[in-house]
Amino acid sequence: MEGTKVISELKTDTCYKELGSFHGVKAGIVYHKALGASTNTLVIELPEERNILSTRTGLGKARYILNTHIPPELWDFMHDNSSDWQTAYSVVLEEVLERYGTDLDKVSFLSTGVDQDKIAWAEESYEEFWVLAFATAGVKTNAMRIGCDAASGIERNGKFEKIGTINIILLTGSTLETPTLASSYITLTEAKNVALQELDIRSAVHPEWQATGTGTDQIISVSGGDDKYTYVGGHTKLGEMMAKAATQAVKQAVRNCRGY
C-alpha cells in the first residue's frame, strides 16, 4: 500500500502529550521546566538502541531522539554556555532525562526556538517500506539564501559570538549504514529546499532572494532494523519517500509557526 499518512494526537495529560505510536516507535511532547522557565521537548522513543547520524552529535547510537524548545528566557544562559553545550543541555533537559531514566550521552537531540506544540510530521509507506519525518520550522527572522546572505555569527574556540531553525528528524524501517545515513542528508536538504520554494519563503534580509534555509538548520537520520538499503537518492523508492515525507513535514511546520 502506498500513500501519505499524518499521525493524529491520541491523548493528553498535564506533562505529556502522545503524538503517535507506530512501527514500534512512540512519539510525544514532554512539558517541563528548565531553570524555572516553562518549555517542552519532543521525545521519540525507539524500541531499541539504533544507529543515528546527527548534525549536533555526529555518528552514534541512541534509543531516544529529542527536539527541545529553547524559550527566550533561556537564550542568555545558552549563549553564555555555548562552549560547554553538554553542561547547558544537561540542565535544560534534566527533567526529561530523569523521566526516561537516561542521560545526555545516551540520547540524540536537537534544539530550536520553536515551541514543540508546532511540530509537524508525516509518514510515507510503500509495501514493506516506511519513512517518518518530524520537523519544526521557524523562518520569520532568519531565513536566508546560503552563500548570498552574509553570515550573522562567528565561532571561536567553540563559543558562538552571535547566533528560527528548521530541524528534521528522519526515521525509517530500513537499515542504513553510515554512508547511507550520510547520503540521506542530501535528500533531506533538497527536500527542505523544495518545501521553501513551494511556500515561496524569502530571505529575511533580502526578500528578493529565495531562501534555502535558516542558517542554523539541523538533521538527525535514524536507521531502522529491517533489510539494508544502500542508496537513498532521488532515483530510489526509499529516497523518494524520504523526500516526500520531509517536504510535507517542513511545509506543515512552517504553516504551524505562521498560524495557517
Burial 32-68 (b: 16+ CB within 10 A, else e): bebeeeebbbbbbebeeebbbbbeebeeeebbbbbbb
CATH code given to domain 3-258: 3.60.70
pLDDT in tens, 112-154: 999 999 999 999 999 999 999 999 998 766 665 655 645 555 4
Those residues of the chain that have pLDDT short of 70 are: 1-14, 140-164, 260
What is the model's pLDDT at position 212?
Answer: 86
The residue extents of the domains of the chain are 3-258
Most distant CA pair in the chain, distance:
51
Please report the pLDDT score of residue 80 as a whole number: 85
Residue owning grid cell 532568519: 142
C-alpha cell, 122: 508525516
pLDDT of residue 82: 73
Backbone angles phi, psi at 241, to 5 degrees: -65, -40
Among residues 253, 232, 126, 137, the alpha carbon closest in space to that of 179 is found at: 232
Question: Pairing between strand 3-5 and 16-22?
Answer: unpaired
Burial class (CB in 10 A: 0-12, 13-18, 19+), 87: exposed
Give residue 150's pLDDT: 55
pLDDT, position 30:
98
| CA 124 – CA 68 distance, rounded (Å) | 25
**String of DSSP letters for 78-114:** HHHTGGGHHHHHHHHTHHHHHHHT--GGGEEEEEESS
- Pairing mode, if any, of strands 11-12 and 16-22? antiparallel
pLDDT value at position 84? 84
